[in-house]
Amino acid sequence: MTEHEVAKLIIGAAKGSPKNSGQAFAPVNIALCKYWGKRDEKLNLPVTSSLSVSLPELGATTKISFRDGHDLLRLNGADQPQDSAASRRVSKYLDLFRPDKDTFFQVDSESSIPIAAGLASSASGFAALALALDDLYQWKLGLHDLSILARLGSGSACRSVYTGFVIWHAGTRADGMDSFAEPVDGEWPGLCMGLIMVSHHEKAVPSRTAMKRTVETSALYRAWPAKVEADIKETRRAIEEKDFDLLGRTAESNALAMHATMLDSQPPVLYWMPETVETIKKIWHLREKGLAVYFTMDAGPNIKALFMQRDTADMQRHFPGMEIASI
Ligand code: PMV
């Protein structure tokens, strides 16, 4: 099945007439058990399930309306050139939702993610766009279906249609209709994430490329699906029992294992910088000294620290300049 057919299947039954414009917000999400590797590149179907937590105060607010001539993408008030990678990616996604080839869109997206935070914006960006399209066309789809539409833009975007803890089920079907995200029950007041910036530079290897390379060349990757499955079980138990050490330990181990599969790829992918290693060692040292802090990392050199609100003052002292996001 193509992405066009999947989109048609989902919006096919929806009735409602389009408004002049649609608008929506979607939060950033950080995976505690990572999505790493696709079983279908076109539909963004993952090899494994993954589990994330959304950062409700950080994300994208996106407005979409119809316009003539060509699509226009405006990010934080700045028009993006039509031939830029971002514009092309958004236009390709919008192709799934054009009633005819002469319908074009203007997309204005404002991000509350601090530019320096080093958080991937594609997840909140595509989730906000899918939700804004639902508002524009008045499909009134459920979040289950909207998570599938968001996934067609960027895999991890399917988790950003929700706040709180979220699981993305890998599914087994070739059409991906069973590969959707849904909330995991359980609030955790006081859980914090600290964004520790190591580099502001754009990553040298896009995650799409690194994932593909890992799946194709890493022997270690064969152990990854069982590892993620076990980690998701432990993370769900940690959320249920509010066991912070279990949550942190599992998230840290999962992120390190993902990076191990990258290192095992040919050619190897290493996102770490010297400061990444320094920060990791500092976190381990602080933990030995009794501070309950763990970390996770994505496809880049920056560190996301996990800690409880009661330790905020200590964390700020050890990591001045760290941006703190509550969960
Ligand atoms: O959805 P993508 O293509 O941006 O991939 C996200 C991959 C990781 O951030 C490394 C892991 C994850 O689950 O978010």
Q: How many CA atoms lie within 13 A of 303 on its CB side?
A: 26
Residue pLDDT, tens place only, 253-264:
999 999 999 999
What sign does the dihedral 89-90-95-96 (CA atoms) show? positive
Residue 298 CA, closest ligand 1 atom number? 10
Count Cα atoms within 13 angstroms, Cβ side, for 314: 16
Q: How far is the CA of 208 from the centre of ligand 1 (A)?
A: 8
Q: How many angstroms is it from 155 CA to the middle of ligand 1?
A: 7
**pLDDT tens track for 168-180:** 999 999 999 999 9
In the reported structure, the alpha carbon of residue 50 is separated from the centroid of ligand 1 by a whole-number distance in angstroms of 10
Give residue 326's pLDDT: 84
Pocket lining for ligand 1, CB < 6 angstroms: 31, 34-35, 50, 120, 122-123, 154-156, 207-208, 298-299
| Span 19-67, pLDDT tens digits | 999 999 999 999 999 999 999 999 999 999 999 999 999 999 999 999 9
For the CA of 122, the closest atom of ligand 1 is 4
Distance CA 325, CA 321 (A): 13
pLDDT of 296 above 90: yes
Residue 201 CB partners (closer than 8 Å, separation 6+):
none
Nearest CA to ligand 1 atom 10: 298
The answer to whether 183 and 162 have CB atoms below 8 angstroms apart is yes
Q: How far is the CA of 68 from the centre of ligand 1 (A)?
A: 34
Q: What is the pLDDT of residue 200?
A: 78
Query: Is pTM beyond 0.85 here?
Result: yes
Q: Is 134 helix (H, G, I), strand (E, B) or coil?
A: helix
Tokens for 12, please give them.
């096919």
Name the pairing type of β-strands 72-75 and 104-111: parallel
How big is the chain, counted in residues? 327
pLDDT at 199 > cutoff 90 = no
